[in-house]
Amino acid sequence: MRPLRFRFALVWLVALTAPALAGVPAGFAYLCDVDPSIVQDMRYAGSNNFTGAPLPGYDAAECVLRREAAEALRQVQADLAPQHLGLKVYDCYRPTRAVAAFARWAHAPEQAGALTKRFYPALDKRRLFAEGYIAAHSVHSAGIAVDLTLVPLPPTSVPAFDPAARYGSCTASAAKRAPDNSIDMGTGFDCFDAKSRTASDGLMPEQERWRGLLVAAMRKRGFHNYFREWWHFSYGPHPRALYDFPIAPRSH
């Protein structure tokens, strides 16, 4: 959820209906067209996320990125293959309408017994802005940020997510969290907790090693990690333009 630095001027490019019909704007690509071997688990297109519902603009469970960022991910995937490891992406380009929906959710009253509390077990959700987990603007909307993790190759199957289940918190052991076939990094994805800091204390040695391996592999191909979230990386310098075209189903 890394916030953009406000010293950069923001230019808003708001797409209407044409991009949904054409697929993606010039300069963007579907990741599966660049490297279909990268696993995709697009959390904001479904209910397995901290809001508990699909987000506006996620009309398809597809990873879309600036083409140069997608090509760099393809290189990371190739670098990891000799270690029998691969990438799994949770979020890529994010329409600005989805970012606005995050803000509305954060400011809405907490519901008693909310099943999404597992994503922020030690925080009041109204603190998520102040703690830097949610921001009014996101570099994801520029198409050069990606949330991801590592999976062993070949990836194992994953049990279906049950939106009514009471899974353990994102800081619980991997076996108690919502189903995921990724390597245990010490927390789940979108875990709004101090344990999600890339260099957090209290991790097991193996978890520290996996985080370090992921950061090193991504850095080698031009990605920079956000220190509060071990899963968040951005590619190259921050661009000025943010986008709001919906993520449309990929044409075959």
pLDDT above 90: residue 8:
no
Q: Residue 46 burial (CB < 10 Å; 0-12/13-18/19+)? A: middle
Q: For the chain, give the percent of residues with pLDDT over 70.
A: 90
Q: What CATH number has the domain spanning 11-243?
A: 3.30.1380.10
pLDDT interval class at 1 (50, 70, 90): low
Q: How many residues does the chain have?
A: 252
Question: Looking at 45-59, 157-171, 192-206, 235-249, which range is the least confident one?
Answer: 235-249
Quick one: which of 224, 240, 244, 242 has its CA closest to 8?
240
Q: Give the span between the Cα atoms of 171 and 169, in whole angstroms.
A: 5
Buried b (16+ CB within 10 A) or exposed e, 193-205: bebbbbebeebee
Rounded to whole angstroms, the Cα distance separating 76 from 74 reads 5
Instruction: Give ∠ CA 109-114-115 in degrees, rounded to 5.
Output: 145
| Of the candidates 101, 92, 97, 100, the residue with the CA atom closest to the CA atom of residue 139 | 92
Tens-digit pLDDT profile for residues 139-156 = 999 999 999 999 999 999
Average pLDDT over residues 37-66: 97
CA separation, residue 47 to residues 42, 51, 144, 168 (Å): 10, 7, 24, 16
- Spatial strand order of the sheet with 145-152 comes to 39-40, 85-91, 145-152, 229-235, 223-226
- Res. 120: pLDDT tops 70: yes
Decide the pairing of beta strands 229-235 and 145-152. Answer: antiparallel
pTM (global) more than 0.85 = yes
Lowest-confidence range among 11-20, 122-131, 183-192, 214-223? 11-20
Q: Is the pLDDT of residue 23 over 80?
A: no
| Mean pLDDT within 88-116 | 92
> Over 90: is that where the pLDDT of 15 sits?
no
Tokens of 206: 């193996």
pLDDT at 10 over 50: no
DSSP collapsed to 3 states, 190-201: CCCCHHHCCCCC
List the domain boundaries for the chain: 11-243
249 Cβ contact partners less than 8 Å away, ≥ 6 residues apart: 59, 60, 62
Q: Please choose, from the candidates 64, 53, 140, the residue with its C-alpha nearest in 3D space to the C-alpha of residue 96.
A: 140
**What tens digit of pLDDT does each residue of 191-247 get?**
999 999 999 999 999 999 999 999 999 999 999 999 999 999 999 987 779 999 999
Ranking 15-29, 63-77, 128-142, 162-176 by mean pLDDT, the lowest is: 15-29
Residue 132 is predicted with a pLDDT of 83
C-alpha span between 15 and 248 (Å, rounded): 12
| pLDDT computed for residue 13 by the predictor | 44
